[in-house]
Structure 1
Amino acid sequence: MALKSTSDRSARKPAPDSTRRSEKSRRAIFDAALALVGEVGYPKTTIEGIAARAGVGKQTIYRWWPSKAAVLLDAFLDLGVQSAREAGQEAYELPDTGDLAADLKLVLRATVDELLDPMFEIPARALAAEGVVNEPLGVEFVAKLLEPQLQLYVKRLRSAQGKGELRPGIDPRVALELFVSPLAQRWLQRTGPISYAYTDTLVDYALHGLAPRR
């Protein structure tokens, strides 16, 4: 009877949740990849190191990603999602208060904070550099990370056009590069410090031009 009772209890025990186990492993891999890049740099980060740090086998990582660059990209994208959720933002939008200059300055100041935060800066810089020599990764980096963010600026600039704050004939996708591209270049190439004062000036120059105001 005891054996039968034990068997009955085992039969009633629910099977392990493979989905939960996979999510736990994925989270551990992301955390390990970001931690290693911060500690030893991108060149010294390896799949073997990520696997050991995450407590999983290499085959688990290769089942989901073809390379350490792909792991890091997904980990970085997930980091952004997690940060947004912690801030209570399921879907991020640029503010639209009716004051375009103030809204752009606010968003770019937040971008400065992010670019100066080692948690974001180190993996972002590694991915940007790798994307230059690894074309598939570069294309994916732009498609999954950069372009969605740039489209938020496009949406905000189009809203400003509709309210008469900008000339109707300008291309918002080109216009946003007047303040986004200089910031990215200065940050990537370390040609000068990035600060609130710098991004505020970029917005003023982009919106008001360089000619004397009448």
Structure 2
Amino acid sequence: MTPEHRQGPARSEAARMAILEATARLFAERGFDGLTMEGVAAEAGVGKQTIYRWWSSRSALVAEGLAEGLIMPEWFVPADSGDLRADLTLWLQNVVDFIGRPGNDALLRSLVAASAQDASVAVGFSERLGVLQLLGDRMQRAVDTGDIDELPVEELVEAMLGAVVVRALRRGPVDDDFAARLVAMLLRAP
């Protein structure tokens, strides 16, 4: 995710990686709410102005860390047990559980806001993280093997992710059966 029209010196790859790795370490230790640009700068051994020159916000920084696979890399890959419903339900439940941890709902809202404010964040985050692609590929394999009927895969994946985002944005309750109900409803769709 290269920010658009940034001024100043060219981005040093070593500094960029130091910043992203520091972000990942601090995110793992403190969560999103405990992550500060000052803390990242100190951990990475760079000036805070260097971070702000390359990333407009804490959300944009975390988005790039996620997209680079430095923050929660295993979180985005759905299982392939041969049972699509079980795999999607498990994946979605993991997402719901993650968002339900203190501070992580703020991370999701912040990522949505960063994506809405900066097109390069949105495009880069979507393309490089590949959640839509990973889930779409998993669903397409189920269609190809005849486990499920032909479905509008892209739309179903977007609906699944959209339901989670809407719940997080409106801070609505998510009960224990939310993931299973949502997957069952979407896989029944014509």
Q: What's the TM-score, normalizing by structure 2?
A: 0.69
Moved more, 119-128 or 106-115: 119-128
Task: Report the counterpart of residue 155 of structure 2 in structure 1.
Answer: 174
Q: How many pairs were matched up?
A: 177
CA distance in 2, matches of 1:93, 1:33: 20
CA distance in 1, matches of 2:147, 2:98: 28
Question: 1:133 offset after TM fit, Å?
Answer: 2.5
Q: Which one has more relative contact order, counting CA pairs under 8 Å at least 6 apart?
A: 2
Give the aligned residue type for 1:176: V
Task: Report the counterpart of residue 136 of structure 2 in structure 1.
Answer: 154
Question: Conserved in 1, the CA contact under 8 Å of 2:20 and 2:61?
Answer: no
Task: Report the counterpart of residue 110 of structure 2 in structure 1.
Answer: 126
Q: How does 1:90-129 map to 2 (within 5 A)?
A: 93-118=77-102, 120-129=104-113
Question: 1:181 offset after TM fit, Å?
Answer: 1.9
SS at match of 1:27: helix
Identity %: 30
Q: Deviations over 1:118-146 (max 9, x none)?
A: 3643333212112223333222232233x
Unaligned runs of 5+ in 2: 1-12
Moved more, 130-139 or 151-160: 130-139
CA distance in 1, matches of 2:47, 2:93: 41
Moved more, 103-112 or 136-145: 136-145
Give the aligned residue type for 1:124: L
Q: What's the TM-score, normalizing by structure 1?
A: 0.63
**C-alpha spacing 1:24/1:184, structure 2 compared with 1 (3 Å):** closer
CA RMSD, 1 decimal: 3.7
Q: Which has the larger radius of gyration?
A: 1
Q: Deviations over 1:138-192 (max 9, x none)?
A: 22232233xx011111111111112222223x331122234332122112222x2
CA distance in 1, matches of 2:50, 2:138: 42
CA distance in 1, matches of 2:144, 2:117: 40
Question: 1:48 offset after TM fit, Å?
Answer: 6.2
CA distance in 2, matches of 1:58, 1:83: 24
More helix by share: 1
Task: Report the counterpart of residue 51 of structure 2 in structure 1.
Answer: 61
SS at match of 2:177: helix
Task: Report the counterpart of residue 3 of structure 1 in structure 2.
Answer: none
Task: Report the counterpart of residue 74 of structure 1 in structure 2.
Answer: 64
Question: Conserved in 2, the CA contact under 8 Å of 1:37 and 1:123?
Answer: yes
Q: Which residue among 153, 161, 166 is the counterpart of 1:185?
A: 166
Question: Conserved in 1, the CA contact under 8 Å of 2:23 and 2:40?
Answer: yes
SS at match of 1:38: coil
CA distance in 1, matches of 2:31, 2:43: 8
CA distance in 2, matches of 1:30, 1:81: 6
Moved more, 106-115 or 159-168: 159-168
CA distance in 2, matches of 1:39, 1:205: 37
Task: Report the counterpart of residue 27 of structure 1 in structure 2.
Answer: 21
